[in-house]
Structure 1
């Protein structure tokens, strides 16, 4: 067996340190909700309901809050930052071995899983549009809000995902015997880290699970999102750390959007 499959890339420690810092962009909001508890954090908007017209400005404010959040990290935040950082560190250091020695390289198997990931992510992409249309045409404010916030969460996550791709420039598992080198500018738009499928699925899933929080709904929603992330690895499209970071960031962005902009409440029956 090739000895390179048993050693960690020499840059892995540096990468893990950078990832830990970048993780703060979203995690610092995840454990300090409600946002009012964070010094200088943006406050929720005061509109009576979620509107499509306000969404572009909300996205700009979301991105400003997400990317500037490291400045608001406090000591208590490391109770969440450290476990995530350690999990990502472990994934990065074992990525090569996982993709080179563990995950099948059978082309048919990989193609089946890649197609499955594309199929499984489709409901999460379609859900915001479907929910918004259903709410708009039936007068269901709850569904309408779900659609708007789901779309906002996806767009927020895509901006963060693209920003990270252009920071890390990581090779796909199919290149260079799955060494997963970072800072390879030749990868261009096809950078592997983080997984866009995972970020889309988990950001949309977080909003859906918050808006319709029954145990059964959450089980089905998060099982489907897990399927998206898993099949990206089995399809040799992403390393485990790619989908771990994509899933975690997507989930936290979805929750952040919900907490910041959610307005609908169950009418009180009389």
Structure 2
């Protein structure tokens, strides 16, 4: 519910990312058809990149279950927590994506005249397409954001964000999505992962101050989370 209602809590500082996102998306939509025509049709390439993006996303979707079971076997509470958060983020991404796809109703690059029309025939033939946003991108970026937050090491961040980027590019090269679909899906996925991490993770609360009772009266307790990354 917090993710769904978050647009109602937008403040002035959020314009620093909303404005560039809106400009980038608008620019991409305007040039989507032109870019896809330049890319051309290549069944062999499209098949390879589609398989890569599919298998990688399947792996990210299964990773929370595998990670939780491994954490349970090894009595690793932190791994279990990370797996639960990653699973929550990817599930939230899938649910939100399904709703957005049907609401936006955009044709894929291989549908219609290939220009990615929105509601091309009105409500009479709905749904006509499910191109925007990219489900693969939303899943991968929500997963990557949680893992990068839980295991906050440079190598981990490079690995998960590189993988998410590779899947995003692959969705265009496989002609499953337009560039703007990927931009929207990646951005929403990252924001979902960020929301789950900041509101659910112990790792997000690295520093806290609270009042406590001591033998000498009232005191202040400072907690610093030095847990594993």
| Aligned equivalents of 1:267, 1:234: Cα separation in 2 | 40
- Partner deviation per Cα, 1:46-65 (whole Å, 9 max, x = no partner): xxxxxxxxxxxxxxxxxx22
* Residues 141-220 of structure 1: pairs in structure 2 closer than 5 A: 141-184=77-120, 186=125, 188=127, 190-220=129-159
Q: Normalising to structure 2: TM-score of the pair?
A: 0.84
Who is 2:221 aligned against? none
How far apart are 1:124 and its partner, in Å?
1.2
Which ranges in structure 1 are unaligned for 5 or more consecutive residues?
Answer: 1-63
> Equivalent residue of 1:177, what SS?
coil
Q: Distance in 1 between matches of 2:126 and 2:189?
A: 23
Shift of 1:267: 5.0
Cα distance between partner residues in 1 of 2:151 and 2:143? 12
Residue of structure 1 equivalent to 2:14: 77
Q: Within 5 Å, give how 1:81-92 maps onto structure 2.
A: 81-92=18-29
1:251 aligns with: 190
Is residue 232–residue 243 contact of structure 1 (8 Å, CA) maintained in 2?
yes
Q: CA contact under 8 A between 2:138 and 2:190: conserved in structure 1?
A: yes
Q: Report the Cα distance in structure 1 between the residues aligned to 2:153 and 2:59, rounded to whole angstroms.
A: 19
Distance in structure 2 (CA, Å) of the matches to 1:156 and 1:103: 32
Matched length: 204
Q: Distance in 1 between matches of 2:29 and 2:227?
A: 47
**Unaligned stretches of 5+ in structure 2?**
204-224
The 3 A distance-change label for structure 1 pair 258 and 108 is same
Higher relative contact order (CA 8 A, sep 6+): 1
Distance, in Å, in 2 between the alignment partners of 1:144 and 1:217 is 17
| Matching residue of 2:53 | 117
Deviation larger for 171-180 or 144-153: 171-180
From 96, 99, 103, the equivalent of 2:36 is 99
User: RMSD of the TM alignment (CA)?
Assistant: 1.7
Higher helix share: 1
Shift of residue 213 of structure 1?
1.2
CA deviation vs aligned residue, 1:96-149 (integer Å, no higher than 9, x gap): 11112x223011111111111112223311221121111111110110001100
Residue 232 of structure 1 is aligned with which of 149, 153, 171?
Answer: 171
CA separation in 2, counterparts of 1:123 and 1:189?
Answer: 29
Larger Rg: 2
* The structure with more strand, counted as a fraction of residues: 2
Cα drift, residue 250 of structure 1: 0.4
1:66 CA drift (Å): 2.0
**Corresponding position of 1:22:** none
Q: Are the counterparts in 1 of residues 137 and 185 from structure 2 also a CA contact under 8 Å? A: yes
